[in-house]
């Protein structure tokens, strides 16, 4: 059994994920504990990269559908050629530092996980929930902890520079001056545009989060570091994996597709 504490779906995380999963594969890991208790989301691309490292290898090689984007009629027509995110054997990632791109190869480091244990809490949101949702149809995914946050929508981050670069000049501010750069720094517009679903159109996190299959409580004061087998939530997973269950499972979520309602949240699911 392997353990991975993952805090944010950033672009730069893809390289570290590849390194971690190469080690899992070398060590023959068959079950993985993915700790997402504090992961509020991030980029859909990073979610797809991680999903491709976890999903059955045959599904990755086949390019099976990982997530779908459910838009309104106008955007569905505009993005009709980009409604699905699929598993892939290779991804090209743009470094956040602006220093070009790099490639990751999920299929080369995919260890063939037969069971995925996800530690989740109300701090587990957005891209974390999309990952869980997208993997459920393909593999055994068990949630341990609390109901996730319920951030089931995705959007686009439009930075201030995007407005000014497109228009050239606004309010007599030249973009490529010190004054322009100062006024443009630190703000933007995050536009909610869609909700995500699995390959079947199911959005497990609607309307109020994904319920845990087995309850566990995060206790930061338990005296154990994350990853320590004695830590409160990880010890619960280990007890479940060995059959030493101390509490009954709680109700599982419905698998019926949910209607496209909106609920604001703090997580960020970026395209």
Q: Is the pLDDT of residue 265 over 80?
A: no
Q: Please write the tens of the pLDDT for every residue from 117-139.
A: 999 999 999 999 999 999 999 99
Whole-number pLDDT of residue 170: 55
Q: Is the pLDDT of residue 225 over 50?
A: yes
DSSP readout, the chain? -EEEE---B-STHHHHHHHHHHHHHHTT--EEEEE-TT--EEEHHHHHHHHHHHS-HHHHHHT-EEEEEE--HHHHHHTTTS-EEE--S-EEEE-TTSS-EEEE-HHHH----SEEEEEE-TT--THHHHHHHHHTTTSEEEEEES------EEEEEEEHHHHHHHHSEETTEETTSHHHHHHHTT-EEEEEEEEEE-TTS--TTTTT-PPPSEE----TTSS--TT-TTSHHHHHHHHHHTT---SPPPPPPP-SPPP------S-EEE-
Instruction: Give the residue with greater pLDDT, 240 vs 246.
Output: 240
> Structural domain boundaries of the chain?
2-156+193-270
Q: Is the pLDDT of residue 261 over 70?
A: no
* Residue 103, CA atoms < 13 Å, CB-side half-sphere: 6
pLDDT band, residue 268 (cuts 50/70/90): very low
pLDDT band, residue 175 (cuts 50/70/90): low
Whole-number pLDDT of residue 100: 85
Q: What percent of the chain has pLDDT over 90?
A: 69
Q: Is the pLDDT of residue 156 over 90?
A: no
Whole-number pLDDT of residue 157: 82
Terminal alpha carbon distance of the chain: 32
pTM: 0.83
Average pLDDT (215-222) is 94
For 2-156+193-270, CATH gives: 3.90.226.10
Instruction: Give the residue with greater pLDDT, 53 vs 258.
Output: 53
CB 143 within 8 A of CB 212: yes
Q: Please write the tens of the pLDDT for every residue from 11-70.
A: 999 999 999 999 999 999 999 999 999 999 999 999 999 999 999 999 999 999 999 999
pLDDT band, residue 110 (cuts 50/70/90): very high
Average pLDDT (195-200) is 95
Average pLDDT (81-109) is 90
Whole-number pLDDT of residue 168: 52
Query: If you average pLDDT over every residue of the chain, what do you get?
Result: 86
Whole-number pLDDT of residue 246: 54
CA distance 179 to 183: 6
Whole-number pLDDT of residue 241: 94
């Amino acid at each position: 059994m392997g353990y991975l504490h993952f805090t944010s779906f950033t672009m730069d995380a893809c390289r570290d994920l590849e390194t971690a999963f190469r080690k899992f594969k070398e060590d023959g890991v068959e079950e993985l504990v993915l700790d997402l208790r504090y992961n509020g989301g991030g980029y859909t691309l990073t979610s797809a990269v991680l999903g491709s490292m976890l999903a059955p290898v045959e599904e990755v090689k086949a390019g099976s559908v990982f997530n779908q984007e459910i838009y309104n009629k106008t955007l569905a027509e505009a993005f009709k050629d980009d409604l699905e995110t699929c598993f892939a054997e290779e991804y090209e990632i743009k470094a956040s530092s602006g220093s070009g791109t790099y490639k990751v190869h999920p299929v080369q480091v995919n260890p063939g996980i037969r069971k995925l244990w996800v530690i989740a809490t109300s701090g587990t949101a957005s891209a974390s929930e999309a990952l869980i949702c997208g993997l459920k149809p393909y593999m055994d995914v068990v949630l341990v902890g609390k109901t996730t946050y319920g951030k089931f929508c995705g959007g686009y981050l439009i930075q201030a520079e995007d407005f000014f670069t497109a228009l050239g000049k606004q309010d007599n501010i030249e973009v490529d001056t010190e004054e322009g750069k100062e006024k443009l720094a630190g703000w933007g517009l995050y536009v909610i545009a869609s909700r995500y679903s699995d390959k079947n159109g199911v959005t497990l996190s609607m309307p109020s989060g994904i319920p845990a299959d087995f309850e566990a409580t995060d206790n930061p004061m338990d005296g154990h570091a994350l990853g320590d087998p004695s830590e409160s939530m990880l010890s619960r997973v280990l007890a479940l994996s060995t059959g030493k269950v101390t509490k009954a499972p709680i109700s599982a979520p419905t698998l019926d597709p949910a209607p496209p309602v909106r609920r604001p949240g703090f997580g960020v699911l970026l395209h």
